[in-house]
Amino acid sequence: MKLIFFIKSSTIDINRYTIKDLTGSTGRLDVIARCILSALITEEGFEKDVQIWTFLDKYGTYIFNSESLNYEDFPKNELLLTDYIVKLLQKDNSIVDKQANPLNSVSFSNKNIFEALNDFKDLSYNIFIMSEEGENFSNKIKELKSKENLLFIMGDQSGDVLDSKELIKLNFPSLSLGTQSYLASSVIRLIKLNLLNLI
């Protein structure tokens, strides 16, 4: 099974970045870092066949693919990962930084979230929106496990993506993990727990 997660943020801004204040100086890049860790990391290494696409309005689209990253060098805590993502977004072209940044194999794309969704739709991916108003996830687990290629769209802090006319027009089904509100990183963990035979 191939799992892909899409998460978008319009708030990320690293112009005043300081590692002493991740939340206040990056526009909540720490949230994105937490989602990346939730998607890719297991106790033994990277998940197989998992990607997380991060759509950052001011910086473009960055694709974290478990198959192309080096687990030994990958920053495994939120603080370190956020710091390296900042360096990646700054696009520092110095040889020293390029060699030192373990995120150099992260792919960049100019595509926005809707262009990418249409691409995956054409590739016959099974695409779902994670929303509190959706169908109960637990009712669909058996069906989801029978699929080979799954893509889940996470909401952003503002909710703009899930409420957008462009997304509604694509008519993807919605799934819910219940009435309780979860952080996007927790939603990713719960999806993995249910679908990758971990429970």
User: What share of the chain has pLDDT > 70, as a percent?
Assistant: 92
Helix (H) or strand (E) holding 5: strand 2-9
pLDDT, tens digit (0-9, with 9 covering 90-100), for 29-40: 999 999 999 999
Domains detected in the chain: 1-199 (3.40.1280.10)
Whose CA is closest to 44, among 196, 168, 162? 196
pLDDT, tens digit (0-9, with 9 covering 90-100), for 185-197: 999 999 999 998 6
Residue located via tokens 């952003």: 156
Structure tokens, 61: 């689209």
pLDDT at 31: 93
List, as one string, the DSSP characters of 103-145. TTT-EEE---HHHHHHHHHHTT-EEEEEEEEEEEGGGGHHHHH
What is d(CA 140, CA 11) in angstroms, rounded to the nearest whole number? Answer: 33
